[in-house]
């Protein structure tokens, strides 16, 4: 498996500095939080996009994927959501990465059946453009659809190979799933896995990997046992927790911890 970290842990940091962190701490790739507050977003022109491609190539770092914020199950018109996804897909294509992350984002007042149908309809429509661009749209286990059991209700309705899943290990754990259950459900759809650590279900402040309660060892063991050879991406949610320790000083220890888990499960 290859290791990456998300720029959610270093909000607003210029891309050259992000790439220096990746190379300096031994990570293979980076997941870019794609938002107007960040250096990389769909508003960039062709020249800026080409410059980013060159920066990644020069650093020898892979761009794992783009973490977008489209809410595919949210109430409202389909058009703006589909256009938001298409813009992310176009950006991913131009930057040479194969993954775009979206959220479920259903409203609490929606029924599960309605939310699933809306999400599946939008994802199915966007999937055709994603296929043309060589990009996979990944529905993250998050918010209204935090477990694999939730996510596959949508993915099964879509039934398109360019729509898959992103396994956020915190949300599936908070939803009461064991890693073996999550993997069994998501395996046919799995794009990559986001790892993190927290103190408890009541306190989700990000912690250094291996110092909290999330079943990271079990997750890695399940993935290894089934021969899965994709990406583990450390999503350290510094942007939402200002008091959390700075990510850069934790990166080497985090990589070493994941390396030990991989060795132990080999």
Would you kindly state where each structural domain of the chain is located, as residue ranges?
2-265
8 Å CB contact between 237 and 5: no
pLDDT on residue 54: 98
Least confident range of 182-191, 208-217, 237-246, 252-261: 237-246
Where residue 265 falls among pLDDT bands split at 50, 70, 90?
confident
Average pLDDT, the chain: 97
Of the candidate ranges 70-74, 183-187, 241-245, the one whose mean pLDDT is the lowest: 241-245
Q: Residue 140: what pLDDT?
A: 98
| pLDDT tens for each residue of 103-135 | 999 999 999 999 999 999 999 999 999 999 999
Q: Is 92 within 8 Å of 55 (Cβ atoms)?
A: no
> Average pLDDT, stretch 216-243?
96
**What pLDDT digit, counting tens, does each position of 137-161 carry?**
999 999 999 999 999 999 999 999 9
Mean pLDDT score, 183-187: 97
Q: Please answer whether residues 62 and 29 qualify as being in contact, where contact means their C-beta atoms are separated by less than 8 angstroms.
A: yes
Average pLDDT over residues 149-175: 98
pLDDT given for residue 168 in this prediction = 98
pLDDT for the residue numbered 10:
96
Non-local CB neighbours of 230 within 8 Å, separated by 6+ positions: 1, 2, 190, 191, 192, 193, 223
Residue 205 has pLDDT above 90, yes or no: yes
Alpha helices, DSSP H, located in 60-111:
78-95
Q: 14 near 39, Cβ under 8 Å?
A: yes
Using pLDDT thresholds of 50, 70 and 90, give the confidence band for residue 214: very high
Average pLDDT, stretch 157-184? 98
Please say if the pLDDT value at position 266 is more than 80: no
Average pLDDT over residues 4-17: 97
Indicate the CATH number of 2-265 among 3.20.20.70, 3.20.20.150, 1.20.58.1910, 3.40.1190.10: 3.20.20.150
pLDDT at 46 > cutoff 80: yes
């Amino acid at each position: 498996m290859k290791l990456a970290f998300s720029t959610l842990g270093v909000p607003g940091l210029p891309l050259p500095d992000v790439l220096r962190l990746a190379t300096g701490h031994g990570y293979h790739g980076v997941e870019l939080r794609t938002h107007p507050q960040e250096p990389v977003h769909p508003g960039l022109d062709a020249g800026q996009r080409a410059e980013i491609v060159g920066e990644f190539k020069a650093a020898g770092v892979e761009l794992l994927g783009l973490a977008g914020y489209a809410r595919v199950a949210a109430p409202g018109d389909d058009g703006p959501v589909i256009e938001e996804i298409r813009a992310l897909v176009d950006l991913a294509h131009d930057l040479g990465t194969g993954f775009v992350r979206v959220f479920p984002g259903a409203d609490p007042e929606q029924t599960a059946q309605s939310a699933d149908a809306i999400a599946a309809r939008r994802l199915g429509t966007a999937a055709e453009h994603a296929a043309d661009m060589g990009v996979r749209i990944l529905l993250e286990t998050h918010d209204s659809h935090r477990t694999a059991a939730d996510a596959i209700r949508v993915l099964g309705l879509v039934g398109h190979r360019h729509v898959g899943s992103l396994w956020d290990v915190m949300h599936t754990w908070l939803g009461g799933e064991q890693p073996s259950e999550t993997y069994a459900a998501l395996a046919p759809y799995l794009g990559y896995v986001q790892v993190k650590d927290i103190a408890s279900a009541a306190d989700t402040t990000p912690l250094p990997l291996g110092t909290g309660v999330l079943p990271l060892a079990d997750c890695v063991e399940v993935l290894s046992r089934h021969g899965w050879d994709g990406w583990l991406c450390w999503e350290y949610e510094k942007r939402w927790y200002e008091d959390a320790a700075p990510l850069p000083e934790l990166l080497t220890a985090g990589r070493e911890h994941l390396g030990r888990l991989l060795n132990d499960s080999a």
